[in-house]
């Protein structure tokens, strides 16, 4: 298994549209570990199409509890269970992740109990360990370490950038965040920075299609990072590669890859990867 990062879902926000990308999820293969970061709608299909057997599910990290990052957490684990998962899965997420998992188990209690009795499957709850984290050290095992930085994503307070290190490599995920200069120090000299990005000229398009008018516009401006500012973070951090993810907008044909490259032309001169579903980035 080669070390790689796969962007499974690259769309910012929970809505999906015909032919468009899926909400946020990523797969990091590093040092023999299969690490899922965020579980937006479509993560199970994305993992399978990336060549991963769901029975290989190992580590899951959730950056925050917005639905476009957690909607398929329970369904992913359940689907892995029905396809032969027999080893423990560890889930790391902010406060509230345990309640989210317990709620999912309650909602599928009939199906789970029936499959255990009828199909001889192991107890699903017993296969999953959920750990809630805050800023700082999150995980360490076999040379793999994970560290968290609280970022600025109002009104969500428990929203964390993650740095995953192992095999002499470092990958940083910004999570959802407004422009947050301290992230540059956190991502210092990372091999890849995966950062959310928003096109200012795309905001009105999203508002018009989604509704909510002024309130949605206020949220987008206060809680997300303009593409040019993502470039500023990457430049200040001295990262080797910048991968734009959680794109806003991601499913408007009026905006193409060239718009993103133009938006960052003056703020980042390194290798720029504009996210799309299924994009494989070798490490």
Per-residue pLDDT tens over the stretch 79-112: 999 999 989 999 999 999 999 999 999 999 999 9
In angstroms, the first-to-last Cα distance of the chain is 12
**What is the reported pTM?**
0.96
Cα separations in angstroms, 93 against 112, 134, 175, 182: 23, 9, 12, 21
Per-residue pLDDT tens over the stretch 143-170: 999 999 999 999 999 999 999 999 999 9
pLDDT band at 14 (very low <50, low <70, confident <90, very high): very high
pLDDT band at 27 (very low <50, low <70, confident <90, very high): very high
Per-residue pLDDT tens over the stretch 137-149: 999 999 999 999 9
Which pair of tokens denotes residue 227? 């593409």
Q: Looking at residues 113-141, what average pLDDT do you find?
A: 97
pLDDT band at 205 (very low <50, low <70, confident <90, very high): confident
pLDDT band at 212 (very low <50, low <70, confident <90, very high): low
Give the model's pLDDT for residue 216. Answer: 82
């Amino acid at each position: 298994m080669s070390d790689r990062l796969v962007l499974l879902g690259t769309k910012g926000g929970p809505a999906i549209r015909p032919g468009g990308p899926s909400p946020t999820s990523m797969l990091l293969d590093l040092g023999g570990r299969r690490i899922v970061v965020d579980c937006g709608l479509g993560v199970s299909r994305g993992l399978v199409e990336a060549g991963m057997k769901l029975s290989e599910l190992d580590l899951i990290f959730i950056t925050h509890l917005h639905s476009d990052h957690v909607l398929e957490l329970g369904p992913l684990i359940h689907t892995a269970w029905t396809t032969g998962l027999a080893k423990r899965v560890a889930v790391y997420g902010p406060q509230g992740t345990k309640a989210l998992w317990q709620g999912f188990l309650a909602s599928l209690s009939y199906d789970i109990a029936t499959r255990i009795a009828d199909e001889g499957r192991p107890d699903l709850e017993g296969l999953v360990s959920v750990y809630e984290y805050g800023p700082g050290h999150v995980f360490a095992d076999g040379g793999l370490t994970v560290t968290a930085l609280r970022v600025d994503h109002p009104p969500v307070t428990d929203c964390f950038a993650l740095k995953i290190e192992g095999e002499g490599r470092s990958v940083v995920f910004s999570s959802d965040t407004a422009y947050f200069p301290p992230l540059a120090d956190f991502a210092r000299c990372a091999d890849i920075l995966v950062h959310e990005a928003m096109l200012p000229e795309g905001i009105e398009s999203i508002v018009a299609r989604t509704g909510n008018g002024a309130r949605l516009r206020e949220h987008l401006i206060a809680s997300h990072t303009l593409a040019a500012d993502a470039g500023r973070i990457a430049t200040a951090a001295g990262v080797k590669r910048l991968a734009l993810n959680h794109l806003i907008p991601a499913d408007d044909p009026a905006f193409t890859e060239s718009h993103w490259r133009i938006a960052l032309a003056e703020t980042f001169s390194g290798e720029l990867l504009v996210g799309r579903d299924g994009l494989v980035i070798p490490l």
